[in-house]
Amino acid sequence: MTEYDYWKIFPKMPKKVTIGDITVRDGFQHEERFISTEAKKTYLEELIFAGCRDIEVTNLGNPYSMPQFGDAEELLAYVKGDRFKTKCDRRGINIDDICFTAITIREASVNRAIALKQKGVGPDRILMMVSTEEEHHFANSGTTLPNYWAEAERCIKNCNDAGIKMCGTVSTIWGSPIGGATDMKDAVKFTKRWFDIGAHDVEHADHDGSASAADVYRYFSMILDEMPDPRYHIAHFHETKRVASASVLAALQAGITCFEATLGGLGGQPANFMDDRPIKGTGEYYYDDERFVGLICLEDTLVQIDEMGIEHGWDVDRVLWLGRQMEKSMGKRLRSEAAINGRTLKEGHMAFARPGLEKLKEKLGEKPNQNFPE
């Protein structure tokens, strides 16, 4: 007999997941105009009030290249400050349950994070990044892989001493927008390397949307065979081909429990234009149409997981409302369908019902729920 119980078919699939938000960092870094500091504070607050407990606040890199993050210290000071703590207390949110992350690609940024921590406003967790394809790694970091690994090892030791967690990102797992095809086995080795040198967790990133569902399942199965605790593996998918929801499902079926997303599917390669002038960013965009390089939509991913019956800890309706507010902030239609069309309603949309069915059934002598002739 055919088995219909989803969890018996996919026994590794979790019944509870963690979905972190990276809108204010990765989402806004691709925007070609400065998003106001007050808007960033608002969305950080609202996402946390909606249930987020793992959130990226900013990038501590040099704002010369990425002026979107010129307000990094102000944002960190705000979420670590008394005013925000009071707002959380009123809502029954323990601020100690929230993990605030900042991106620190190079050692100077890591040192900046440590200095902020010593001042009482530093992040709880920071992130460094390697790509298995060295040309892509060089484009992002400006140095070679061996040199970067040595730098990362020093940084992790210093972070541990300062009480900051380090997340190591592995990118170009399923392909590189610069060097082309890659081998997933290399990404497994890179993940082991991060843990060997003391990283707290690893973000597995599909930064250019190369992943297919089948290879996502294969890769995360390989990862969990070698390093089986799913709490330390985060899936990070970009949406360039409109198939990332399949990648989310494949990762779930493999046993992954931690994901990242952005409101409206914002994000992608750091902008190389800001307000009214060209800026450095990370150079030329990898795609001719830069609108389709963002992450999976928080709204759509939450609806997908919620309607599968998987626990997630978010207020879905509040997130859908937030997605509509984000469209106003951005001044354009974003990529979330759920934010516009809503959830699948069990009670239906009776406002669209054609009048007269009940009377017709009565006239024909049919019972209210009768579907076939007697």
Distances (CA, A) of 144 to 135, 140, 157, 364: 9, 10, 20, 79
pLDDT of residue 240: 87
Q: How far, in Å, are 13, 88, 161 from residue 93 at the CA level? A: 29, 5, 28
**Hey, what amino acid is at 153?**
E
Q: What is the largest CA-CA distance in the chain?
A: 82
Please name the residue that has the structure tokens 């994000």: 267
Domains of the chain by start residue, with CATH: 6-347 (3.20.20.70)
- Angle made by CA atoms 84, 96, 339, in degrees to the nearest 5: 65
Q: Are 224 and 230 in contact (CB under 8 A)?
A: yes
Task: Classify residue 186 as left (phi > 0), alpha (psi -120 to 50) or beta.
Answer: alpha
Is residue 21 helix, strand or coil? strand
Please check whether residue 271 is in contact with residue 33, taking contact to mean a CB–CB distance below 8 angstroms: no
Query: Where do runs of H (alpha helix) occur along the chain?
Result: 6-9, 28-29, 37-49, 72-79, 82-90, 107-118, 134-141, 145-162, 184-196, 213-226, 244-254, 298-307, 316-330, 338-341, 357-363
Which residue carries 């709490």 as its tokens? 231
What's the rounded Cα separation, in Å, for the pair 51 and 98?
A: 10
pLDDT by 10s per residue, the chain, length 374:
688 898 999 999 999 999 999 999 999 999 999 999 999 999 999 999 999 999 999 999 999 989 999 999 999 999 999 999 999 999 999 999 999 999 999 999 999 999 999 999 999 999 999 999 999 999 989 999 999 999 999 999 999 999 999 999 999 999 998 999 999 999 999 999 999 999 999 999 998 888 999 999 999 999 999 999 999 999 999 998 889 999 999 999 999 999 999 999 999 989 999 999 999 888 888 877 777 789 999 999 999 999 999 999 999 999 999 999 999 999 999 999 999 988 888 888 888 899 999 999 999 999 999 999 98
Q: CA–CA separation, 326 vs 62, rounded Å?
A: 26
Dist CA 109 CA 299 (whole Å): 31
pLDDT at 1: 65
Q: How many CA atoms lie within 13 A of 177 on its CB side?
A: 19
pTM (two decimals):
0.94
